[in-house]
Amino acid sequence: MRDRNRDELISVGIDIGTTTTQVIISKLTLENLAGRFSVPRVQITQKEILYRSAIHFTPLIEHHLIDAPAVAALLSAEYSKAGFTTGEIDTGAVIITGETAKKENAKAVISQLAGFAGDFVVATAGPKLEAIMAGKGSGAQAYSVKHKKTVINIDVGGGTSNYVVFNNGKVVDTACINVGGHLVELEPLGSRVAYVAPAARKVMRECGLTIEPGQTAAYADLKKITDKMAEAVVAVFAGTPGQGMAGELMMTEDLRRDYILDTVMVSGGVADFVYDQEARALSMEEVSRYGDIGPLLGVSLHKAVLESGLFVARPEETIRATVIGAGSQSLEVSGSTISVVEDLLPLTNIPVVKPFAGLAPADPAKVKTLVERSLEISGFEDTSVALAIAGPADMSFNSLQSLARGLTAGLTREIERGRLIIIVLEQDCAKALGQSIKHLIPGNRSIVCVDQVLVEDGDYIDIGKPIIGGRVVPIIVKTLVFNRPDND
Amino acid sequence: MILKGKVYGTAYTFNSVRDVLAKASEDKSGDRLAGISAVTAAERVAAKLVLSELTLEDIYNNPVIPYEKDEVTRVIYDGINTTVYRKYKNMTVGALRETILDHETTGNDLANISRGLTSEIIAAVTKLMSTLDLIVAAQKMRYQAHCNTTIGLPGTLAFRCQPNHPTDNPQGILASIKEGLSYGSGDAVIGVNPVEDNIESYTRVIEVVSEFIDRWQIPTQNCVLAHVTTQIAALEKGAPVHLVFQSLAGTQKANEAFGFTVKTLDDAYELALRQGAASGPNVMYFETGQGSEVSLECHEGVDQQTLESRCYGLARRYKPFMINNVSGFIGPETLYTGKELTRATMEDLVMAKLHALPMGVAQCYTNHMKADQNDQEVANTLSALAGANFFMGIPGGDDVMLSYQDTSFHDNATLREILNLRPCPEFESWLEKMGIMENGRLTKRAGDLSIFND
Amino acid sequence: MATEENLESMIVQNVLKELAKNGFLQNVKTASVPQVSETPTHRSIVNDADEYIELPPISEILIHEPIHKETVAALKAMTPARIGVGRAGPRYRTTTLLHYLADHSQAQDAVFLDVSDEFLQRMGIFEVQTQVSDREEHLTRPDLGCRLSREAREKISVNCKKNVQVQVFVADGLSSKAIESNVAELLPALIQGLQGEGITDIGTPFFVKYGRVRVEDEIGILLNAEVVVELVGERPGLGTANSLSAYIIYKPTEKTVEADRTVVSNIHMGGTPPVEAGAFLAGLIKDILKAKTSGIKLTTG
């Protein structure tokens, strides 16, 4: 039997970005902190990175397809270098980021990879999630807790820059702009332009420049372009929202800006050029050494963020921020008194539907109506869904019974069709609610009821097999958005 | 040796020295629970009367638990200076009381006498003392000790900052440390009671405290009050430990119920000296408390005050840096009212000092006792007046982990002010550097924990 | 601070006087800072309105002008300890003192008051008493609180089924409040949970006044129950006066020791909610019945 009070999970993070692909393997320690005389309370107490891969160029076929066999081979080589086999990986996340997420075969590749990477490794994408993972991996979240500040982390990648705002550890806002170091590709150590992404064309147009692939570019012209890009990146949080270049390149809603920022942190591949004065890009050779304008964008950003007026903090991780976020920050644990049937787990990619705005109504009839309506609106016909519920009207036995009655009535059709009953609660009452539902539909073995997890309508959730003596389940909450509109 | 006494015509017979000691004790619920206390007020006085005429030798020859049977008795007897003992053995307990109180008798004299006294003799003489007697005696005796800093200097009053947290959350512990320091509390030790008693928890907490002390360069000691065996194991793994802690009881049986023997303490002491992170030479910290033996049903028919004194006899072997009672922590079955609590506290303070120990007091009470804040403050003021080396310091007096009340950071600051006492000198300089204290007074800034903004 | 204010008012007065001298202040005859009125103003009683004097929330920062207010708030959020409370001279602010007294009052009332008859009637459970005769004896003689009175033994024998799988009972222990605020939610969840696990042979619950933990041994022996569950009020802390514990034992005997008991503590709305605790206990009891042991042997065995 595994230790009932302590468990270790090996977690992988795989980031397939516009320019680079990376792998990290970390060890998560989970402990029951509640002591012998209390109801258990399991938390992740330690995260240790065991292995960091080299930084590889993302294998692409032409510019529009991910070279799946090459990515798989890369992953396989990294696993053996790290000394792990797929079977030894307990959990983790593959995240496909930036421009790569727009590739035609992105969804297929990432799902395959997740399976290949390990049993409970999830596939994720989407600018929101990418931003959050980068901000966790860069140390911005921890910084905001430690210094009690509102911190914006900008992860500047090859194709996009992702913003996340943390207030005292909590995510309060995210956004994404189509600016990155790989939007203009250059012949390494030369000055010939190899590729110009659509977003870069817009910037060029704004600068009154036209540079086509095959032409040579002047340092001064490229600097003009990166200065404009940097200006747009900073304008998103320090300028007038929706205006100018920034407005044109936004890939998401603007930041809400209903908070006061104290600190800015930049992560991602170009961040080294933002912070490290040694890593200057003063000549064309220095600029094009990685085959793109990334170094120069870093230089431009250095000046732009300093001029933003915010305190500029140094990240703990730069180019590896997202992969570390994915590998060691994506997993959370459920509350420690839950109601699950082990054989049903793991469950992956379960869409979340939130039937009530606040706590559940006290009236079972109302619960039934709202559940039915929300299921109808969400339109998930061919899959089980997870109902996200803050809690019963109050924490009394009677309210729980009412909620259980309303839920079973509202889920009648789902139950008849053999779907699972998956309930994700915020408040600590999953065991009691699970039992109450079971009491109403005796013999039903398809109930998964977990608590102390925050999810929103439109999220997807993965629920792993129980750990630590069956007390808790690992949970990954994600937002899967693949088909986002191209900004061209 | 006469064990019979008469008070206003009524005769009382006692069957042993142990019986006399028990019945001569002030009324406390623990002795009633054990069924060994005097039944009437007159019987109590009769016992005191008989006790006053016993010689020190009578008590020496009749240890409350036999030497062969109990290792605490052995530690006490083996530690006695026989020359000093022989000098005083024919004195009666009543005469010893007067010697202690005599204007001619100084603290140095008492330090010398104490080397010849068994713990039972010390308990006996304090049973003949009223509260003011106890204060007069206590004021004469002041014992210093040195770990990283010096505790017990004349004119000083130190505090243990006790930043307990219900889940050992490091940030939560640090928050309370910051609050305590901002009131000048924490010169005795920053001492955390961990929730979980295992090496991982212990190490995690001691590292948090130790790092904080290093970062802010605080002249003090660290301690995490886990079981002594946990601390030994952590020390062996290289944890940065200043003080090694253990709760003591007055019988071998009760200590075994606590999970240790004299050998365990010997090992811990040796290891702390050899591998601890402190300068020393005093590296041990003990807590005791009247009634723990009754609670554990290991009292062997001995009253709780005498057993408490035996704890000090055991502690003396390890030259501790600090020791304090937590008599109010055990519960109403041992001390029921505020009055019982006050009395026990004053006895404990004097008994420890008569063992030449650097004694402090945890003036505490639980919510199921018939006691309140006012009782606590009165007793606390008295023990400060009597010259305790230190008290506890707890945010708002409310220990949110152990669920009892003890003296607060505010009480700490108040006692220093009203009695004109200062922190340990190194610590006071640090407080001045931090802008918390000026000329022995709290500054305007004091009490603002956000000065530790890291 | 007082001196600063005095200084300030002195300066203001002098300036006003200067201005007046120079004719700048036509309307000011004798410039002065307003004085406290010497005649007491009468404040009428307005008790008919739905307005009460209440304690401010404990999260309030009482430090006078902290350097970093947000730091204080963040630190306060890290611990339930009474920090960031400020001071009046070396003493507590009035609010802090009143909070302390209010919390102690809750704790004292939890310890010293009885579980109400009304509550027992509502729950429909009968009451028996240990050998303790009053509250003081209950607190100072824990040994008596572990033994049933003769009347209690008779009443239990008459009213309860013997040889059941699970016998649940309630004892006041050290907090009557813990009983009144948790049992009504916990008990039905526990019974529903047990039934869900297929455990239906459950004895009639009852209440033991002046009961301690160890009284469950005598009850278990008396009824020859396989598992005994005692829901007992915990010793109150200042913050929580209504925390409940469950002590579960498998086939107790006279030789039962503390390590034989499985304990679940901290059951209250601020800890494990009673309804969730009831559900949790049901699973635990199932494990105990299966393992045919409880306490340390259950966790290590």
| Mean per-residue pLDDT of chain B | 96
For residues C259-273, one letter each, b for 16 or more C-beta atoms within 10 angstroms of the residue's C-beta and e for the rest, the string is ebbbbbbbbbbebbb
- Torsion on CA atoms B59, B63, B68, B69, rounded to nearest 10: 170
> pLDDT tens-digit profile of B6-60?
999 999 999 999 999 999 999 999 999 999 999 999 999 999 999 999 999 999 9
Fold of C112-300: Rossmann fold (3.40.50)
β-pairing, B322-325 with B284-288? parallel
Rounded distance, CA B241 to CA B195, Å?
18
Q: What is the pLDDT of residue A371?
A: 96
On whether the CB atoms of residues A361 and A374 are closer than 8 A, the answer is no
Q: What is the CATH number of the domain that holds B207?
A: 3.20.20.70
> Are B375 and B339 within one domain?
yes
Touching C (3+ Cβ pairs <8 A), the chains are A, B
Q: CB within 8 A of A288, min separation 6: which ones?
A: A186, A187, A188, A189, A190, A191
> pLDDT tens-digit profile of B362-418?
999 999 999 999 999 999 999 999 999 999 999 999 999 998 999 999 999 999 999
**Taking Cα atoms as reference points, which of A78, A84, A88 lies closest to residue A52?**
A78
Task: For residue B224, give the 3-state DSSP assignment.
Answer: strand
Q: Which residues on chain B are in Cβ contact (under 8 Å) with C143?
A: 33
**Domain assignment present for B179:** yes
Rounded distance, CA C77 to CA C70, Å?
11
Q: Which residues on chain B are in Cβ contact (under 8 Å) with C63?
A: 447-450
**Taking Cα atoms as reference points, which of A25, A155, A133 lies closest to residue A86?**
A25
> Are B108 and B166 within one domain?
no
Q: At residue B170, what are phi and psi to the nearest 5 degrees?
A: -55, -40
**Domain assignment present for B136:** no
Residue in B174, B417, B445 closest to C90 by CB: B417
Q: Which residues on chain A are in Cβ contact (under 8 Å) with C274?
A: 395
Q: What is the pLDDT of residue A112?
A: 79
Rounded distance, CA A150 to CA B152, Å?
46
- Torsion on CA atoms A190, A195, A198, A199, rounded to nearest 10: -30
Structural domains counted in chain B = 2
- Whether A41 sits inside 8 A of B195 (CB atoms) is no
Residue in A37, A429, A439 closest to C276 by CB: A429
Q: Where are the domains of chain A?
A: 6-125+326-331, 140-315, 347-463
pLDDT higher than threshold 90 for residue C22: no
Token representation of residue B348: 């404990």
Q: Please give the average pLDDT of every successive group of 10 residues along chain A, which has 488 residues.
A: 71 88 91 75 85 91 84 91 90 82 79 78 79 92 87 93 89 90 91 92 93 92 95 91 85 88 93 81 85 93 91 92 86 89 89 92 96 90 90 95 97 91 94 95 89 85 88 79 33
> Are B285 and B313 within one domain?
yes
**Taking Cα atoms as reference points, which of C225, C267, C227 lies closest to residue C246?**
C267
Rounded distance, CA A479 to CA A474, Å?
17
| Residue of B173, B178, B196 to mutate for A, most A C-beta atoms under 10 A | B196
> Are B123 and B227 within one domain?
no
> Are B91 and B155 within one domain?
no
Rounded distance, CA C169 to CA C215, Å?
10
> Are B118 and B177 within one domain?
no
Rounded distance, CA A461 to CA A450, Å?
12
Q: Where are the domains of chain C?
A: 112-300
- Whether C81 sits inside 8 A of B410 (CB atoms) is no
Residue A270 neighbours by CB distance under 10 Å: 35
For chain A, positions 167-206, list CB contacts with chain C under 8 A. 168
> pLDDT tens-digit profile of C48-99?
777 888 998 888 899 999 999 888 988 998 899 999 999 999 999 999 999 9
- Whether B400 sits inside 8 A of C79 (CB atoms) is yes
pLDDT higher than threshold 90 for residue B270: yes
> pLDDT tens-digit profile of C96-145?
999 999 999 999 999 999 999 999 999 999 999 999 999 999 999 999 99
> Are B104 and B183 within one domain?
no
Q: What is the pLDDT of residue B243?
A: 98
Q: What is the pLDDT of residue A2?
A: 39
Rounded distance, CA B125 to CA A111, Å?
82
Helix (H) or strand (E) holding B304: helix B304-315
- The CATH code for residues A347-463 is 3.40.50
Token representation of residue A137: 């991996």
**Domain assignment present for B174:** yes
Q: Per mean pLDDT, which range of A103-112, A421-430, B285-294, C285-294 is the poorest?
A: A103-112
ipTM reported for the complex, 2 dp: 0.93
- Whether B168 sits inside 8 A of A41 (CB atoms) is no
Tell me, rounded to whole angstroms, the distance of Cα A425 from its chain centroid. 21
Q: What is the pLDDT of residue C13?
A: 64
Closest residue in B to C88 (Cα) is B410
pLDDT higher than threshold 80 for residue C8: no
On whether the CB atoms of residues B391 and B360 are closer than 8 A, the answer is yes
pLDDT higher than threshold 90 for residue B130: yes
| Residue range C205-232: mean pLDDT, rounded | 97
Residue B98: pLDDT band (50, 70, 90) is very high
Tell me if chain A has a CB within 8 Å of the CB of B195.
Answer: yes
Q: Which CATH class is domain A6-125+326-331?
A: alpha beta
pLDDT higher than threshold 60 for residue C3: no
Q: What is the pLDDT of residue B343?
A: 97
Q: Which residues on chain B are in Cβ contact (under 8 Å) with A35?
A: 195-196
Domains A140-315 and A347-463 share a fold: no
Tell me if chain C has a CB within 8 Å of the CB of A397.
Answer: yes
State the residue range of the domain holding B121: 4-129
pLDDT higher than threshold 80 for residue C31: no
Q: Which CATH class is domain A140-315?
A: alpha beta
The residues that bridge with A10 in the sheet, in sequence order, are: A27
Q: What is the pLDDT of residue C19?
A: 54
Rounded distance, CA B104 to CA A161, Å?
84
pLDDT higher than threshold 90 for residue B65: yes
**Domain assignment present for B134:** no
More confident call, C265 vs B70: B70
> Are B166 and B112 within one domain?
no
Q: Which of B129, B160, B190 is the last residue of a domain?
A: B129
> Are B287 and B338 within one domain?
yes
